[in-house]
Every structure is written in C-alpha cells, then in structure tokens.
C-alpha cells in the first residue's frame, strides 16, 4: 500500500478536522454527528462589473439533525469571472453561519465562487456582472494653460469617462461650455471614444486673468478647466492724470503725470518701460523711466522749468507716445492783438505769442503753411532767442518788438521789407532790425512798420505803395512800385511822442501834441478833411492837443491831454464811437464824455481805458470783439469786463486783448486760429483768461 507523504497529510488536515469536529459533538444519542454545508443566500445576484455585490454569500454548517455546527472553517475561492472574495476564509458562528462578500471582476457575464468545508460537497455561488454606468469624469490634459487673450490654447481640453473601477466608458456625451472670460469652444458636446476620451479646443476671450470652461456629464460632478489670459501686444498709451496743469515756474506740479498702457482689448500691460522726456525749457521729471504696474499704469512727477508759458513732457512706451501739456503761470505787462494772432510781454520781459503761424508770426522758429485751425497754436508760446522785451506790437502778418535796451526786432512775413532787416527774407524768430539806433516805441501795421528813436524821430519801413512810410522820395507811382527794407526817417524833421502804423496809413503825435497822418486816405483815415492820400505827414484837421494816437485799418483814434477821445475815417461799423454809422474825414468826438488814458483802433472797432481802469469798446461786433456778451454792433462805447480793473488794451482785426492791473491777460472775439490763447478755437463773447496764468 502506497504511503501518504507528509505534505498529503497536511492537505487532508481540514477534512479530518471537520470529521473530528462532527464526531466529537455528541448528544445523548450515540454515534458520530455527520456535518453538511448548505447555501443559505447570496447566489444568483447581479451587479455592475467591478462592484461589490449588495448581499453577502452565506452558508450554514449543520449536523444530520439540522443542528448548527459552530467553529467550522469555510474556505472561499473564485472559480470564474475574476474579482475578489473577502474574506477568503471564515468561521461559522453559533448558529453555524459563515459569509463572504464578492467584488465582481471586470468582465461582463458569469462570476462564480466556491465555498468548501473539508471533504464535504462544496457550495457554488454564481453572480452576473453587468455593464457599469459612468462613474468618474477625469481631466486628462489642457488645464492650467496660459496664452495671449483671444488666441487658441496650445493644448486641447481632454477628459476621460470611466466606471467605478476605472474602465473607460465610450459613447458618453460630454458637454463643454465656457463659464467665464468670454472665450469660445470649437464644439459644444462630444461622445467619448473607445478609450473613454472626449476633447474640445478652447479659444480664450478678450480679458486677461483667469478664464474658466466646464466639462460635464449627466449625473457626474462636472470638471472646471482654468486658463490664464495674457495681454495682447500694446495698442494704446492713454493719459490718466496730470495733463493741462499750470503752476509756479521752477516748482513741482501738484498732480503726477500718469499713463496707462493697454492692448487692443483695453487690457492693462504690466512690466513695460515708460520713458518721460520734457521738451527744452519744460523742466525735469522724476523718475525719467518707470515701469507699468499690474493695472498698466506708470507715473512721474513734473517740476516745471524756470520760465512761464507752455511746457511739454512726452511719455512713450512700446512704440506709442502721449504729450502732456502744462505751463508755468505767466503774469503779463502788456498785450497786443494782431490780425489772427496775439502777443504779450510777461513780467521778466519774455514775449509770448499765440494763434495763426502760417507766416512765422509767432516767432517760435517754425512756420506752418496753409490756412485753418490746423496751423494754430491756441495757447501762449514763448518766442525763441532768450531776449528780454519791453514791448511787442502785432501787425497783420508780422510782429515787431523792443528789448529793454531799445533794440528792435521783427519777425513774420517780409515780402515788402516790413521786418526792417535790410532784405525780403521771412523770419520765424525775432530778427534784428538793421541799424544801431535804439527805439522807444515800435508799431507793426498791415504791410509796414514804424518806430521812434530816443530823440523822438520817426522811422518807417516796408511797403510804401500808398505813401504809408512818409519818407523822403516816398512817391507812389503804381501799385507795389516801392518798398523799403530798412528803417528810413519820416520826412519833415518833426519829433514825435507817439506813432502808430495802421492798415495802409500811419499817424503820429508830436511832442507838442499835434496830430499828423500820412498814406492812404480813401475813407478819410488821415483826418485832414479830404480823401487825398499823403506821401508825407499831414496835419489832422482839428486844433486838438493830443497825447497818443492809434491807426486802425481804415480809421484812426486819438486822445487829448484832457482824456477826450476823437476818431476819424471809416464808420461803417460804428468804429468812430459817435453813436452813428456816418464816416468822417475830420476828427469827431467819441460820445459819452468819457475821459480815457489810452485808446486803440482795430480793423473795424476801437477800445479805450479810463484812469479808473474801466474798459469801453465800440464798433463791429460780428465775432464778439466788443466783449459785451453779444454779437450786436455797438456804435457807442460799451462797458467790457465790468468788475475787472484794466491797465492795457489792444484791438486787433476781429478780436481784442487786455491786461488787468493784477497782470492777468484776457482776450475775446474771433478765435478761429486760437488767437485768444485759451487753448481752444472757440469764439468768446466776453473776456476769457489766456492760458497759463494764476
């Protein structure tokens, strides 16, 4: 007989143990107890693949009488279908029951489990594994990207759908949607492929920062994808604060200069370098370069230059630039209104001009050709040359001025020698009048200029087609037959205390108070009672003792030692101030019995100041040059700027400028070319403060 090996005895040990267990349990009856293994419940269940069955598999060990056999060890094992059993062995309880749980395998179909006890017949449990529903929605790729706004992300948004045991689920509908940032997806929904994958392509919206998109499957927790939008290329540099400030020359402006750099969608661009560059004489900035912050902003502080008037700082970044305009406050001593421009002398002797510059009449070293507001500089701009002036006179298309030392300068158009430079070349900056004489008074007219030297002798230069120079040999034979480009003495040897160059004539007052005029007299502007022109000074036709005279375009005005105002010449617009519209070739008194200390004649209107600083104007008001808030022609003196106290006034072609006793300059009337100096090209019917003043 074959002997069992030691290992065989070990294998049979459980069987014998069961037999022994059964035989040892004796009751009052005789003989051994025979145990059996019975299936109680848990067979025939169904469940999703990979899932643990809802009910445990239960067996019972009992003897031949049906009594429970406790303490028996049951062995559980997978027969088919994969999966796992827990526990792999269990011990019957006091009622003879033992149980285990089955987690189904990952394959569809039959799963079977065997429970065994020694040599007893095993018990076989069966269960069916069915398809599992989608249980997980997982992000595979595409989260956490960053890209320029409004561009396609480099990686697709990819999700995976699986069941509870990570088996891929195909054919599941995944919905994609943008939830913030305003971007777009190439597809709204997609069915998962054999690997359980679904994807979409995401184009970011226009705004920077975090943008989100959602992937969702019905019944599952949705997934959120995030992406960060970076700004697009710089597209604009905008001024935020600090523009158009004025302050004390040499002092820091109150508000910082601030700009903002953005892309084409308005998104701020951070980390960009902004460079700040003041123009010449505009002062200094600190810092000279700055970096835009998270909001695209950068700033600097501006300390003005030591002179008054307009100042400029240019901010540039990423190929874009913005100009900050500012100004040092100017206090004016005198003002003079020309045709389409104005000039003034500020404290310290700096000359400023503004308005039309098509002929270089602003004296800033540049000429803008053509016509229209495009060539206007509607705010005070300092003439170049670092000259210190005592007075400036604005003509129609040119200016003349005197330094504190009496040196004469002119600039602007010069086709007929009206600049007095000895030639006919135009000048866009102050150019010295030829000769070594010093002047006390200078006056720029329409096409000629005149001045008085220290002795009171009169000199004129420029066009003489109508005898308006009043010089020796000044015959006018044919139009444009004669011009003189250097100062030439007025004939007669008289000494004057006042001289004024008008349209096509000139007038002067001798040191004895006698009035003389010469040149064109078609409308009686010479005041001698005739329409005859004069090529040399001719006395006005009234025995008046005058202190000052002003020659307008086609009329003239003067004041007597008693302050009475007299005018003569054209009166089509009431510019003689008589209350009527009738011209006169002889001086007629300005109505109102007002005592004036100064008087000025413009193109078709006139103005005068009283000793108390009251200002009156009369004549044409088509552009608001009277300054009373209306466009109504005023043939009699009308109060202007009530409440202000004036010290100087100048009537131009269709606008007027004046200075208060507080050295504040105002202009009003026509402003088509910025000749009012308030920074606009808007006509003003009442006095408007010139820019860059306290």
Distance CA(467)–CA(469), nearest Å, equals 5
As a whole number of angstroms, the distance between CA 332 and CA 304 comes to 19
What one-character DSSP code corresponds to residue 690?
A: P
What six digits make up the tokens of 596?
């004036």
Q: Confidence band (pLDDT; 50, 70, 90) for 379?
A: confident
Cα distances from 692 to residues 348, 378, 590, 662, 677, in angstroms, run 15, 12, 36, 15, 9
Q: How confident is the model at residue 108 (pLDDT cuts 50, 70, 90)?
A: confident
In this predicted structure, what is the pLDDT of residue 158?
98
Please give the helix or strand (H or E) that residue 11 lies within, else none.
helix 6-24
Count the residues in the chain. Answer: 694
Q: Which of 19-23, 190-194, 597-601 has the least mean pLDDT?
A: 19-23
Range with the poorest average pLDDT among 24-33, 477-486, 618-627: 24-33
Question: Average pLDDT of the chain?
Answer: 91
pLDDT value, residue 21 = 39
Q: Are 187 and 232 in contact (CB under 8 A)?
A: no
In the block, residue with structure tokens 């002929």? 359
| CA–CA separation, 426 and 421 (whole Å) | 10
* Residue 19 confidence (pLDDT): 37
* Mean pLDDT of the 653-668 span: 98
Which value, in Å, is the radius of gyration of the alpha carbons in the chain? 53
**Cα gap 586→528, rounded to integer Å:** 6
Whether the pLDDT of residue 569 is over 60: the answer is: yes
32 band by pLDDT with thresholds 50, 70 and 90: low
d(CA 592, CA 584): 18
Amino acid 378: pLDDT: 85
* Mean local confidence (pLDDT), 443-447: 98
Work out the burial of residue 44: count CB atoms within 10 Å of its CB; fewer than 13 is exposed, 13-18 middle, 19 or more buried. Answer: exposed
Reported confidence tier of residue 375, pLDDT bands at 50, 70, 90: low
The CA distance from 234 to 273, in Å, is: 12
pLDDT at 222: 97
User: What is the pTM for the complete model shown?
Assistant: 0.66
442: left (phi over 0), alpha (psi -120 to 50) or beta: beta
**394 with 335: CB under 8 angstroms?**
no
Neighbours of 284 (CB within 10 A): 15
Predicted pLDDT of residue 6:
32
Q: Give CA–CA dist 92/387, Å, rounded.
A: 120
Residue-level pLDDT at 290: 98
User: Mind listing the pLDDT tens digit for each residue in 358-369?
Assistant: 999 999 998 764
Q: Is the per-residue pLDDT at 20 higher than 90?
A: no
Cβ pair 670, 660 in contact under 8 A: no
Contacts of 525-531 spanning 24+ positions with Cβ under 8 A: 525/551, 525/552, 525/554, 525/555, 525/556, 525/568, 525/569, 525/570, 526/556, 526/568, 526/569, 526/585, 527/556, 527/568, 527/569, 527/585, 527/586, 527/587, 528/585, 528/586, 529/585, 529/586, 530/585, 531/585
pLDDT score of 373: 46
Cβ atoms 303, 253 nearer than 8 A: yes
Cα separation, 647 vs 93, in Å, equals 123
pLDDT, position 310:
83
Distance, CA of 601 to CA of 474 (rounded, Å): 25
**What percent of the chain stands above pLDDT 90?**
83
Cα–Cα distance between 129 and 110 in angstroms, integer?
6
Torsion of CA 141, 147, 150, 153, to 10 degrees: -30
What pLDDT shows up at residue 389? 96
Task: Give CA–CA dist 360/380, Å, rounded.
Answer: 14
Least reliable range by pLDDT among 29-43, 120-134, 661-675: 29-43
Bigger pLDDT: 519 or 31?
A: 519
Q: How far is CA 422 from CA 162, 343, 365, 383, 471, in A?
A: 99, 24, 20, 22, 16
Interior CA angle at 298 toward 292 and 299, to 5°? 160
Rounded to an integer, what distance in angstroms lies between the CA atom of residue 433 and that of residue 449?
A: 11
Distance of CA 621 to the CA centre of its chain: 38
Calculate mean pLDDT across residues 583-606: 98
pLDDT band at 592 (very low <50, low <70, confident <90, very high): very high
- Give the tokens for residue 29: 């009856």
Q: State the pairing for strand pair 57-62/184-185.
A: unpaired
Phi, psi of 331 (to 5 degrees): -115, 125
Least confident of 10-14, 318-322, 486-490, 584-588: 10-14
Comparing 201-205, 371-375, 611-615, the range with the smallest average pLDDT is: 371-375
| Confidence check: pLDDT of 24 > 50 | no
Sheet of 684-689, strand order = 646-651, 655-660, 665-669, 684-689
Residue 28 pLDDT level (bands cut at 50, 70, 90):
very low
pLDDT bracket for residue 17 (50, 70, 90) = very low
């Amino acid at each position: 007989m074959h002997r069992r090996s030691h290992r065989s005895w070990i294998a049979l040990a459980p069987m014998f143990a069961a037999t022994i267990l059964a035989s040892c349990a004796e009751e009052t009856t005789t003989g051994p107890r025979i145990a059996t293994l019975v299936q109680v419940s848990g067979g025939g269940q169904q469940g999703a693949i990979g899932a643990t069955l809802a009910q445990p598999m239960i067996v019972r060990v009992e003897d031949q009488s049906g009594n429970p056999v406790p303490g028996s060890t049951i062995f559980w094992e997978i027969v088919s279908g994969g999966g796992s059993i827990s526990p792999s062995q269990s011990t019957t309880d006091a009622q003879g029951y033992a149980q285990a749980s089955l987690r189904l395998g990952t394959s569809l179909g039959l799963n079977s489990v065997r429970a065994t006890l020694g040599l007893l017949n095993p018990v076989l449990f069966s269960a069916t594994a069915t398809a599992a529903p989608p249980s997980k929605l997982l992000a595979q790729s595409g989260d956490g990207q960053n890209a320029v706004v409004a561009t396609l992300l480099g990686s697709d948004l990819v999700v995976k759908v699986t069941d509870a045991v990570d088996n891929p689920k195909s054919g599941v509908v995944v919905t994609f949607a943008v939830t913030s940032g305003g971007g777009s997806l190439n597809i709204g929904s997609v069915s998962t492929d054999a690997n359980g994958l679904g994807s979409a392509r995401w184009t970011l919206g226009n705004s920077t920062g975090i943008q989100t998109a959602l992937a969702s499957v019905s019944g599952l927790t949705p997934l959120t994808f995030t992406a960060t939008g970076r700004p697009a290329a710089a597209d604009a540099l905008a001024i935020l604060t600090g523009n158009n400030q004025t302050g004390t020359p040499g002092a820091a402006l109150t508000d910082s200069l601030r700009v903002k750099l953005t892309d084409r969608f308005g998104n701020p661009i951070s980390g960009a370098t902004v460079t700040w560059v003041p123009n010449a004489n505009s002062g200094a900035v600190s810092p000279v370069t700055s970096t835009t912050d998270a909001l695209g902003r950068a700033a600097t502080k501006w300390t003005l230059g030591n002179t008054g008037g307009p100042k400029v700082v240019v901010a540039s970044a990423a190929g874009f630039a913005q100009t900050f305009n500012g100004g040092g406050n100017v206090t004016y001593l005198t003002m003079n209104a020309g045709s389409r421009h104005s000039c003034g002398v500020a404290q310290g002797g700096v000359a400023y001009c503004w308005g039309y510059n098509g002929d270089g009449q602003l004296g800033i070293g540049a000429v803008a050709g053509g016509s229209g507001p495009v060539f206007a500089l509607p705010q005070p701009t300092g003439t170049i040359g670092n000259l210190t002036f005592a007075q400036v006179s604005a003509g129609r298309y040119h200016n003349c001025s005197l330094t504190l030392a009496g040196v004469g300068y002119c600039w602007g158009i010069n086709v007929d020698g009206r600049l007095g430079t000895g030639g006919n070349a135009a000048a866009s900056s102050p150019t010295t009048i030829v000769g070594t004489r010093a002047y006390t008074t200078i006056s720029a007219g329409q096409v000629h200029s005149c001045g008085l030297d220290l002795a009171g002798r009169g000199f004129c230069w420029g066009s003489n087609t109508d005898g308006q120079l009043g010089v020796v040999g000044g015959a006018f034979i044919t139009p444009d037959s004669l011009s003189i480009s250097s100062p030439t003495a007025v004939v007669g040897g008289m000494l004057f205390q006042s001289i004024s160059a008008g349209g096509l004539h000139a007038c002067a007052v001798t040191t004895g108070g006698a009035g003389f005029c010469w040149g064109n007299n078609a409308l009686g502007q010479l005041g001698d009672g005739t329409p005859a022109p004069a090529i040399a000074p001719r006395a006005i036709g009234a025995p008046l003792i005058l202190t000052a005279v002003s020659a307008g375009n086609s009329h003239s005005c003067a004041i007597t030692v008693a302050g009475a105002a007299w005018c003569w010449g054209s009166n089509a617009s009431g510019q003689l101030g008589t209350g009527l519209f009738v011209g006169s070739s002889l001086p007629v008194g300005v109505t109102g019995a007002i005592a004036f200390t100064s008087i000025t004649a413009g193109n078709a209107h006139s103005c005068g100041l009283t000793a108390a600083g009251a200002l009156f104007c009369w004549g044409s008001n088509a552009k608001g040059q009277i300054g009373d808030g209306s466009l109504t022609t005023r043939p009699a003196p009308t109060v202007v700027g009530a409440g202000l106290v004036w010290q100087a006034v100048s009537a131009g072609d269709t606008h007027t400028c004046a200075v208060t006793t507080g050295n504040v300059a105002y202009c009003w009337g026509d402003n088509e070319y910025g000749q009012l100096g308030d920074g606009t090209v808007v006509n003003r019917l009442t006095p408007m403060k010139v820019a860059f003043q306290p």
